[in-house]
A and B are shown apart, each in its own frame.
Chain A
Amino acid sequence: MTRHLRALALAGLALVSLLVAAAEPAKPAPAPPATVLGDVRFERKTKGDEEFAPAVFPHWVHRVKYKCYVCHNKEMGFGFKRGSVTITMETIDEGKYCGVCHKGEPAFGINFVTCNRCHRK
């Protein structure tokens, strides 16, 4: 009787460990490095919100989906030189610069939930 009980307990243990192994979620991918080559941290030109982090443009994220000339052209207005355009939240809301895509479709829209996707330390 005890032998049977012991065997049953062992089998149960094996089943539980199997279930745990199966239920364990796949390891999430490690976070990409804080700065990747090509990232642009914009320089703040407006006075008054120094405590709010300036925006960071992750070049690599955009290169995954678009070729260079999608943004670097006359209509879009992005030059190659860093600091050659002045981008404010007003110009984005008008649908210029980042606002061409970041208006919900094709890319995430700009609202008080998504501030820290660009404005990060």
Chain B
Amino acid sequence: MLLRPWGVAQYILKPYRPFVLSLLLFTTVLVGCSTPPVLVRMAQGVRDVIVSIPPALFDMPAPGGTDPGDAPVVNHPRRERIVDPNIEEYKRLAALAAARAKLPPPANWAEMYQRLPKDDDDNIDWMAALSDKTITPSGVVDASAKDVGKTSDDDIELSTSGKPNRMVVFSHAAHTQWLTCTNCHNAIFKREAGDATITMEAIDDGQYCGVCHDKVALAQPSGCKGCHKVKAKKS
């Protein structure tokens, strides 16, 4: 039996004839469309379609409209940047503390004095020295001893008689960084709020706040506003 290759191929491909024919047709059409004149005509057609779409649907100027060109793009923020003064202050103090940590310990007391932050009157601002870690005073002489220091962060409003229109708010937190309860209670102030009648005369006389203030401690900022900070409520 003589096997003719073409005859064998025809015999095998016979059931797939429609598929082979359509593949042939498709290839012919594809090759025909790829010739330059046809491609140019197709591109022209696509352009015609695009131009016919109203320009308002595009984020670009209309064919006859003005082009913004290279003008800088302004990105309007979606919201105002939040600047929290507390966070900014914290960042400032953290940067200061980091800078202090790099400094070698002061060689002598003159250098130490120079490093201590000063207020407007050139007195030492002790609270600033604490907060920027210029100093880290210890609560005990012997490091193994127990620190008796206690903290109470209550703020106490001291009502004013009205004439100086700014009320004093006593901050426990500021004082307990230096003092312990028994320093003030109950010899200078009774534990119950509202017990003492504190006047500027009494303070100048060395009673109440005047035991320390203006002798070894200064409220900041110096002058009246160090303590009389809060605007008194109209009652």
Contacts and interface: CB of A to CB of B under 8 A. Distances in A.
A38 interface: yes
B109 A70 contact: no
Nearest to B214: A37
B43 interface: no
Interface size range on B against A? 20 to 34
Nearest to B114: A29
Nearest to A36: B124
A69 B149 contact: yes
Nearest to B217: A38
23 contacts: A28-B111, A29-B114, A31-B110, A36-B124, A38-B215, A38-B216, A60-B113, A63-B135, A63-B216, A64-B116, A65-B138, A66-B138, A67-B177, A68-B179, A69-B179, A69-B180, A70-B138, A70-B139, A70-B140, A73-B183, A80-B212, A81-B211, A106-B141
A31 B132 CA distance: 23
B111 A64 contact: no
Nearest to B184: A80
Given A32-B109, A67-B179, A37 B138 contact: no
Interface string A71-105: 01110000011000000000000000000110000
A31 B140 CA distance: 29
Contacts of B114: 29-30, 32
Contact of A29 (B110, B177, B217): B110
Given A32-B114, A69-B180, 4 more contacts: A32-B109, A60-B116, A64-B112, A74-B182
Interface residues of A, number: 27
B135 A64 contact: yes
B212 A67 contact: no
Contacts of B183: 68-69, 72-73, 80
A119 interface: no
B141 A66 contact: yes
Interface string B60-101: 000000000000000000000000000000000000000000
B178 interface: yes
A119 to B, nearest CB: 17
Given A28-B110, A73-B182, A80 B137 contact: no
A109 B34 CA distance: 104
Nearest to A106: B141
Given A38-B216, A69-B179, A80-B211, A101 B141 contact: yes
Given A66-B137, A67-B149, A32 B110 contact: yes
Contacts of A68: 178-179, 183
Nearest to B115: A29
Interface string A38-73: 100000000000000000000111011111111011
Which of B112, B129, B188 has the most A CB atoms < 10 Å from its CB?
A: B112
Given A32-B113, A38-B215, A60 B124 contact: yes
B139 A67 contact: yes
Contacts of A38: 215-217
B137 A37 contact: no
Q: Which 3 A-B pairs have the closest CB atoms?
A: A38-B216, A32-B113, A29-B111
A32 B113 CA distance: 6
A37 B113 contact: no
